[in-house]
Structure 1
């Protein structure tokens, strides 16, 4: 670096220190500081403040990316008046994210297309933006992951990661049945978080039908008891959003 100019060295040092704002915007800040007659201290402060702002935003984006959401859904996109009544009533409290601090679960239960997954993802993204760590998975995928880690003798590492997330979203419980072993693996995994960390479950089956998925009555009873203790139980039965959209489309076409 001996033959580099002072400006080039500054850029190299900024790159080494991973200071993207200093690396990319130094000239702009110097120009602005000269125009506004900033002191050296103010110039340094302004650059560092922007650097911190950028890093905080990058961490937010990183948490959203690492959560593994299948798509990005936001609370502001919801037409709240079209949500099932239970969801409309509970949403203002859920949006505070106090349930994460309190380690309380949420179970969204109802027929397909009523917003269960949208609500779960939207709450998950808000949690990411507010500094919480989130993990999204479908129940079938989680079971596959547990089995693979067990066969590879890395199950304990998966359990540790699973326990540490501030919030876990387990989507689509009830779409695929599992044998007794699968039910036990799922129960043991979810139990790691019970009473300590928040978990969101979405399901199309009422609790009295969970025995159709897990073929062990005692295990089902224990799972329901563990997941619903102090949980928010949200009835999501209602008309499907997709059906509503189809009906609106057909009505528009009929009026053409």
Structure 2
């Protein structure tokens, strides 16, 4: 193995595979005296940093478990004029995490609540914020199983550690009274410590009915609505509009 081959091998062993793959191109430029060695090394390291950041974002988005990746730039604010794009842009800076504020997207099915929640989640991942997206029904199933196995506290602590927790579709399926208590334990554990985004089609005044537990509903809302942004989307359904076209 000559020195050049050894260099490529070393780069690969250092997990600098992208740098190794671009090495030959810049070696030729240096040999042809088109750029200096320093310029070549600078370009190689800049490309490597960009590549590693892109890979970090990909891993973060994958770990967040979004059902589909949607960007805020894809959201049609003209179709939903009740949503203020400036407000959403401010959310995308993740400044609301600094004060442990919550966001509740409220509206009928199909108006874009989940799209906005995912878009904010993706923005969080790009900024290195530990994020998890989970359907409310799936979350309650996981908490119920953990309680049955005696692992509830451990599982709740795991969900509490996420800097941004996105709970999707609260109220789309009925919630048993005992499940409402589990949800309260989770929300209470994140209260004034971490931020949560919730999407729901149920007015806040009706949560007691949906949760079949008025006391738990009031306790959950007390902790969620404090330092919270409630975004009411009054527009039409994207899916119905697409079906009619």
The normalised TM-score by structure 2 is 0.91
Q: 2:176 aligns with which of 175, 179, 185?
A: 179
| Alignment CA distance shift 1:92-1:11 (3 Å) | closer
Look up the match of 1:212. 209
CA offset at residue 64 of structure 1?
0.9
Q: 1:52 aligns with which of 46, 49, 52?
A: 49
| Conservation of the 8 A alpha-carbon contact between 1:81 and 1:88 | no
Map Cα deviations across residues 44-68 of structure 1 (whole Å, 9 max, x no partner): 3332222222111110111111110
Unaligned segments of structure 2, at least 5 residues: none
Map Cα deviations across residues 91-129 of structure 1 (whole Å, 9 max, x no partner): 233233211222210001111111100110011111111
Q: 1:117 aligns with which of 108, 114, 120?
A: 114
> Using the alignment, how far apart are the partners of 1:243 and 1:118 within structure 2?
16
Look up the match of 1:133. 130
- Secondary structure of the structure 1 residue equivalent to 2:193: coil
CA offset at residue 201 of structure 1?
0.5
CA offset at residue 171 of structure 1?
0.3
- Secondary structure of the structure 2 residue equivalent to 1:82: coil
Look up the match of 1:158. 155
The 5 A counterparts of 1:22-33 are: 22-33=19-30
- Secondary structure of the structure 2 residue equivalent to 1:165: coil
CA offset at residue 134 of structure 1?
1.1
Q: 2:9 aligns with which of 12, 22, 29?
A: 12
Corresponding position: 1:197 with 2:194: yes
Unaligned segments of structure 1, at least 5 residues: 250-256
Corresponding position: 1:243 with 2:243: no
Q: Which moved more, 1:34-43 or 1:124-133?
A: 34-43
> Using the alignment, how far apart are the partners of 1:84 and 1:192 within structure 2?
35
Q: Which moved more, 1:172-181 or 1:87-96?
A: 87-96
Look up the match of 1:74. 71
CA offset at residue 89 of structure 1?
6.2
- Secondary structure of the structure 2 residue equivalent to 1:172: strand
Cα RMSD for the two superposed structures: 1.9
> Using the alignment, how far apart are the partners of 1:137 and 1:22 within structure 2?
36
Q: Which moved more, 1:86-95 or 1:61-70?
A: 86-95
Larger radius of gyration: 1
How many aligned positions are there? 245
| Conservation of the 8 A alpha-carbon contact between 1:84 and 1:235 | no
Q: Which moved more, 1:124-133 or 1:226-235?
A: 124-133
> Using the alignment, how far apart are the partners of 2:230 and 2:5 within structure 1?
60
> Using the alignment, how far apart are the partners of 2:140 and 2:166 within structure 1?
14
